[in-house]
């Protein structure tokens, strides 16, 4: 990529994109992951690039569920490592949750690069590197997982996840929690708790927040989020 | 990339993404272009992946303005070539408009690859390959353009354009027309006519449509589009 001139009015946003492009060059993020990031960017724009009250509530409930779990697992992919390499490890410590690498576009090389990046950022035990099990209902490569990790987890955090896999995990009877800026994605609709927030804000929030013990209605929370976005579009239209 | 299983419920959409990823591998689309495509995908989803009445009107007005122009030019970048290689050439013939390659991430290699792809799809004269002029107010590489093409154009179609350049062209006194799925982008707000539609639908529409001779209010058209998206979000929220 060429250098972005500092005179460009969207310098900050372009720099963030550039760091994802860099992680593609490092072999960590897939190119399809870049497209997914673009979709997220746009939903984040509709959120005003801020954590909403709905997202805060979902984050607090997610922490409560992961705290209570017997075998909590955090699933890691290329975009997660590119965006929150330190944060996701700190979160796994705070929650006493296992880290498992689980890729949509799995290759041995990408697995190694991601393992390396996690180690550089302080990860110790990493699951998913030598998977013995498969998630039922998925094609072989996408199904691979560790017995002591995802396979036997009861509560699983799958940030920036593919809808197919979120559904397959749900069918296994797990409590599924996701972080996804698109409230309309299959992952968002399938999950028990959907955090509609940028992962770069959600993870630090989850490290610090107070767990929510009260009832939580994910469908209601998603509908409120969509109404919030809908109103934002109307407000933004007045500026044209 | 690994093969996408046909069993995947979003097979079509994933295949489209894969063709863009392929064009990155061919050296035609930049990786930042993939992120931009992701943002577009999401806005298209809010449009129901259909051409709205507002977009049809903008397409018809765009054709009328390009028809009337003395030196109409169509600006081409990597995503345009990846998505509508034949259509954009056919449109330039229909409108008797010049084709000029103009890249945000300009390298000699990408220029050559794009030229080659355009030739394979039947393009004859291509501007922008040996640029003698610069668009005032932009950094050197982004400013380069042909004297007989963009530099002296009176009406210019800049699909999937960067906001900086759209503004610089406007400052040169040109009539600027864009195709952009994001009605809130600077390009969309800056242009005289903004076609908020997927380029894969807009280009065939423009080849066939009847030019609109009546007055056209771009701001009003954009506000209506945003209201349409806002309503769609509300309707979609009811399905959760």
Per-residue pLDDT in tens (0 to 9) along chain A, 240 residues: 456 677 776 665 666 677 788 888 899 988 888 888 899 989 998 998 899 999 999 999 999 999 999 999 999 999 899 989 999 999 999 999 999 999 988 999 999 999 999 999 999 999 999 999 999 999 988 899 999 999 999 999 999 998 999 999 999 999 999 999 999 999 999 999 999 999 999 999 999 999 999 999 999 999 999 999 999 999 999 988
* Mean predicted confidence (pLDDT) in B119-132: 96
Q: Crossing angle for the helix pair A218-237 and A53-68, nearest 10 degrees?
A: 160
- Higher per-residue pLDDT: B29 or B123: B123
Whether B87 has a pLDDT exceeding 70, the answer reads yes
What span, in angstroms and rounded, lies between the C-alpha atoms of A52 and A44?
A: 11
What pLDDT sits at residue B15? 67
What span, in angstroms and rounded, lies between the C-alpha atoms of B199 and B178?
A: 10
Helix (H, G, I), strand (E, B) or coil at B224: helix
Q: Which residue of B has its CA nearest to A164?
A: B8
**Nearest CA of chain A to the CA of B179: how many Å?**
17
Number of helices (H), then strands (E), belonging to chain B: the values are 11, 7
Whether B137 has a pLDDT exceeding 70, the answer reads yes
Q: Which residue of A has its CA nearest to B23?
A: A31
CB contact under 8 A, A42 and B42: yes
Residues of A in contact with B109 (CB under 8 A): none
What pLDDT sits at residue A1? 43
Residues of B in contact with A223 (CB under 8 A): 237-238, 240
Helix (H, G, I), strand (E, B) or coil at A14: helix
Tell me which DSSP letter residue B127 carries. B
What pLDDT sits at residue A31? 84
pLDDT-derived band of residue B10, with 50, 70 and 90 as boundaries? low
- In this complex, the residue of A21, A226, A231 whose CB is nearest that of residue B236 is A226
Which residues pair with residue A175 across a beta bridge?
A155
Tell me which DSSP letter residue B176 carries. E
Is A76 within 8 Å of A97 (Cβ atoms)? no
Number of CB pairs, chain A paired with chain B, less than 8 A apart: 138
What span, in angstroms and rounded, lies between the C-alpha atoms of B11 and A168?
A: 17
Lowest mean pLDDT among A172-181, B2-11, B60-69: B2-11
Number of residues written out for chain B? 240
For CA atoms B60, B119, B80, B15, give the dihedral sign: positive
What span, in angstroms and rounded, lies between the C-alpha atoms of B91 and B79?
A: 16
Extended beta strands in B66-106, E state: 73-76, 98-101
pLDDT-derived band of residue B1, with 50, 70 and 90 as boundaries? very low
What pLDDT sits at residue B58? 98
Q: Crossing angle for the helix pair A218-237 and A31-46, nearest 10 degrees?
A: 70
* Mean predicted confidence (pLDDT) in B42-48: 91
Residues of B in contact with A235 (CB under 8 A): none
- Higher per-residue pLDDT: B15 or A172: A172
Residues of A in contact with B36 (CB under 8 A): 38
**Nearest CA of chain B to the CA of A180: how many Å?**
13
**Nearest CA of chain A to the CA of B110: how many Å?**
11
CB contact under 8 A, A38 and B43: no
What pLDDT sits at residue B48? 87
**Nearest CA of chain B to the CA of A230: how many Å?**
4
Nearest to A38 by CA among A181, A136, A200: A181
Q: Across the beta sheet with A155-157, what order do the strands follow?
A: A98-101, A73-76, A155-157, A175-179, A193-195
Largest CA distance in chain A: 56
- In this complex, the residue of A41, A163, A237 whose CB is nearest that of residue B223 is A237
CB contact under 8 A, A30 and B1: yes
What span, in angstroms and rounded, lies between the C-alpha atoms of A227 and B4?
A: 33
Q: Between the CA of residue B20 and those of A131, B31, B83, what are the distances in Å?
A: 31, 10, 8
Percent of chain B with pLDDT over 70: 95
What span, in angstroms and rounded, lies between the C-alpha atoms of B213 and B226?
A: 24
- In this complex, the residue of B38, B139, B219 whose CB is nearest that of residue A39 is B38
């Amino acid at each position: 990529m060429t250098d972005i001139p500092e005179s460009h009015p969207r310098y900050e946003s372009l720099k963030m994109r550039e760091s994802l492009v860099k992680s593609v060059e490092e072999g960590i993020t897939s190119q399809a992951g870049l497209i997914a990031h673009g979709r997220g960017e746009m939903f984040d724009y509709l959120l005003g690039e801020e954590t909403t009250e709905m997202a805060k509530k979902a984050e607090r409930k997610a922490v409560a569920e992961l705290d209570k779990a017997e075998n909590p697992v955090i699933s890691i992919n290329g975009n997660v490592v590119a965006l929150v390499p330190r944060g996701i490890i700190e979160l796994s410590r705070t929650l006493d949750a296992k880290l498992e690498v689980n890729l949509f576009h799995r290759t041995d090389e990408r697995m190694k690069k991601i393992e390396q990046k996690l180690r550089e950022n302080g990860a110790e035990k990493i699951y998913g590197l030598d998977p013995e099990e498969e998630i039922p209902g998925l094609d072989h490569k996408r199904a691979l997982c560790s017995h002591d990790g995802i396979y036997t987890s009861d509560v699983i955090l799958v940030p920036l996840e593919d809808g197919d896999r979120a559904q397959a995990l749900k069918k296994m009877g797990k409590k599924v929690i996701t972080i996804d800026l698109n409230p309309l994605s299959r992952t968002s609709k399938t999950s028990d708790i959907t955090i509609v927030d940028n992962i770069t804000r959600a993870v630090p929030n989850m490290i610090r927040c107070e767990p929510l013990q009260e009832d939580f209605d994910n469908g209601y929370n998603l509908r409120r989020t969509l109404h919030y976005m809908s109103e934002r579009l109307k407000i933004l239209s007045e500026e044209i």
